[in-house]
Amino acid sequence: MTDHNDRAAEARVDQALVARVLLGHDRRAFEQLLRRHQGMVRAQLRRLLHGDEAAADDLAQEVFLLAWRKLDQFRGEARFSTWLYRIAYSCFLQACRKRPQPAGQVDEGEVEQLPAPRQAIDLQLDLERAMQQLSTAEQTVLLHCVHLELSHEETAEVLAMPLGTVKTHATRGKAKLRAWLAAWNDAAGKEKTS
Amino acid sequence: MMSHHAQEDDDEIEALLRRQFDGPLPDEGFSERVMRQLPPAHRRRTVVWPLWAGVIAGLAACWSQLLPSALLHAGWRDWAGGQLSAPAIILLMLAAGMSLLASCWSIAEADKR
């Protein structure tokens, strides 16, 4: 409930800043919007670009320059952050079309074949590895739903994907990770008993 | 319907994924770099002269068409004399219709902004 209230308050601050930019072409207000959202937009792009910091920051810069130019198209129906994530994802797709990403995706089922990790301390590293084994769509949906804490509806809007497809990718992605986690738990249990 | 156990597993996966995510990145001069690149704001200049030219041309055309008409003279005379004759009522309805159109237009324009 508090989280919901915080989000609503944040959205109102964003709306007020957007109004200031639109009414008076207030660069300071835009700078505040930029400082409030750059961290998450850059994190989103860095994840989408598999950790390529320079490319992610270049794209993020492009995103905010586009947002400045197109701010009058922000109608306030969605949260400002959702609108920015949508622009960022579109820029990312355009960049991919210009420079195709290296193929490295693995089909469904292969997560189950991952060798179980040997030590508990490796859990995060192995989870990262398991994430990379998910399909691009599953990774992208989980990034937006879990990491960026968007609702399924917001994720569908950002990714321009039907809501049902978003839910399916989220469920499948988590099911694969759950299966992998079960293997990890089993391995950890055996280590404890031996 | 998701079972309680599956929901717990989902929560566990989400918690792990959230821990794996570093969260918002520190600014490290990014905002300043973007602000330096920001082009000057181009104000949306509304060119008003075609609108006023159209209004004046329209009024002039109306006036030139209606001036020789007996209806306008009779209507205006009756209206000024406080007599609600048929020509005066037609003139009144025309004025009301024009005001209504202008109001609708203003409201539509205000919504766009």
Q: Is residue A166 within 8 Å of residue A151, measured between CB atoms?
A: no
**Predicted local distance difference test score (pLDDT) of residue A107:** 44
Predicted TM-score (pTM) of the model is: 0.67
Complex confidence, ipTM: 0.76
* Alpha-carbon span A140 to A39, nearest angstrom: 18
Of A136, A182, A125, residue with least CA distance to A159: A136
Burial class (CB in 10 A: 0-12, 13-18, 19+), A2: exposed
For domain A110-193, the CATH architecture is: Orthogonal Bundle (1.10)
Mean pLDDT of B25-53: 82
Chain B residues touching residue A48 (CB < 8 angstroms):
none
pLDDT tens by residue, A24-46: 878 999 999 999 999 999 999 99
**Predicted local distance difference test score (pLDDT) of residue A130:** 83
Query: In this model, does residue A72 exceed pLDDT 60?
Result: yes
**Predicted local distance difference test score (pLDDT) of residue A104:** 46
Query: Integer distance in angstroms from the first to the last C-alpha of chain B?
Result: 45
Domains A2-98 and A110-193 share a fold: no
* Alpha-carbon span A89 to A63, nearest angstrom: 9
Do the chains contact at B25 and A46, CB–CB below 8 Å? Answer: yes
Q: What is the number of CB-based contacts under 8 A between chain A and chain B?
A: 82
Summary mean pLDDT of chain A: 84
Chain A residues touching residue B33 (CB < 8 angstroms):
61
Summary mean pLDDT of chain B: 81
Sequence ranges of the domains in chain B: 70-113
Other CB atoms within a 10 A radius of the CB of residue B5 amount to: 8
Sequence ranges of the domains in chain A: 2-98, 110-193
* Alpha-carbon span A61 to A42, nearest angstrom: 9
Do the chains contact at B27 and A39, CB–CB below 8 Å? Answer: yes
**Percentage above 90 pLDDT, chain A:** 57
**Predicted local distance difference test score (pLDDT) of residue A117:** 46
pLDDT tens by residue, A96-129: 988 765 544 444 444 444 444 455 456 677 777 8
Query: In this model, does residue A190 exceed pLDDT 70?
Result: no
> In chain B, which residues touch A (CB < 8 A)?
9-10, 12-14, 16-27, 30-31, 33-35, 37-39, 41, 43-44
Residue type, B63: W
Burial class (CB in 10 A: 0-12, 13-18, 19+), A141: buried
Q: Is residue A94 within 8 Å of residue A58, measured between CB atoms?
A: no
Angle at B29 between CA B28 and CA B32, to 5 degrees: 155
**Predicted local distance difference test score (pLDDT) of residue A119:** 54
Of B21, B7, B24, residue with least CA distance to A142: B21
For domain A2-98, the CATH architecture is: Orthogonal Bundle (1.10)
pLDDT tens by residue, A159-168: 999 999 999 9
* Alpha-carbon span B76 to B85, nearest angstrom: 10
Query: In this model, does residue B11 exceed pLDDT 50?
Result: yes
